[in-house]
Amino acid sequence: MTAPTWSLRRLHTIDDAQIDGLADVLIDCVEGGASVSFMLPLSRGRAIAFWRRVAQGVAAGERALLVADDADGLCGTVQLILDQPENQPHRADLAKMLVHRRARRQGLGAALMRAAEATARECGKTLLVLDAVTGGDAARLYESLGWERVGSIPGYALMPEGGLCSTTVYYRNLV
């Protein structure tokens, strides 16, 4: 088995170079057709503004941010939204799982998911929730990792070029 060509870490503060790298990954994913909140065209300014808001949440302890780097820089990321209502302190949402197209199909997505689950446990979380485009690459990955499918909501979101898609909700019990 070949060793991974990337390394994973959790960022507690995010500098401008990392914001730039995160923006590159987000833009690459949206240009590749991923339905991850943004419509095309996604300007660099909008992508950077998004990551600056994420950086504020990370600094405030409301989010955990994991990133992967390869020889060309930042190539993948995932977040846990830790800040939840007071009656759901044990829960986090998993969000913005993004792997740059250059780094896909090498196991990085699975590694990011496992790292996110480990981080969630470290943060005292025992239940994770996420949603994904029904039947897409991400949904297949989550199911292969043992996430439980709750159900699908037709017409939940738009694809980046337009056109509604169905979203499937998943959960993972970490107990």
Ligand X SMILES: CC(C)(COP(=O)(O)OP(=O)(O)OC[C@H]1O[C@@H](n2cnc3c(N)ncnc32)[C@H](O)[C@@H]1OP(=O)(O)O)[C@@H](O)C(=O)NCCC(=O)NCCS
- Site residues (vs ligand X, CB under 6 A): 29, 34, 36, 97-99, 104-110, 132, 137-138, 140-141, 144
Nearer to ligand X, 127 or 159 (CB): 159
Closest approach, Cβ 86 to ligand X, in A, equals 27
Nearer to ligand X, 33 or 89 (CB): 33
Closest approach, Cβ 6 to ligand X, in A, equals 9
- Determine the Cα–Cα distance for residues 48 and 33; give it in Å rounded to an integer: 19
Nearer to ligand X, 47 or 138 (CB): 138
Closest approach, Cβ 56 to ligand X, in A, equals 22
Q: Which of 83, 50, 67 is nearest to 12 (CA)?
A: 67
Three-class SS of residue 75? strand
Residue nearest to ligand X (CB): 109
Closest approach, Cβ 28 to ligand X, in A, equals 9
Closest approach, Cβ 139 to ligand X, in A, equals 8
117 in Cβ contact with 173 (< 8 Å)? no
Beta strands in the chain (DSSP E): 7-11, 63-70, 73-81, 91-99, 127-133, 148-158, 164-173
Nearer to ligand X, 54 or 108 (CB): 108
Nearer to ligand X, 90 or 140 (CB): 140
- Determine the Cα–Cα distance for residues 77 and 65; give it in Å rounded to an integer: 7
- Determine the Cα–Cα distance for residues 16 and 2; give it in Å rounded to an integer: 32
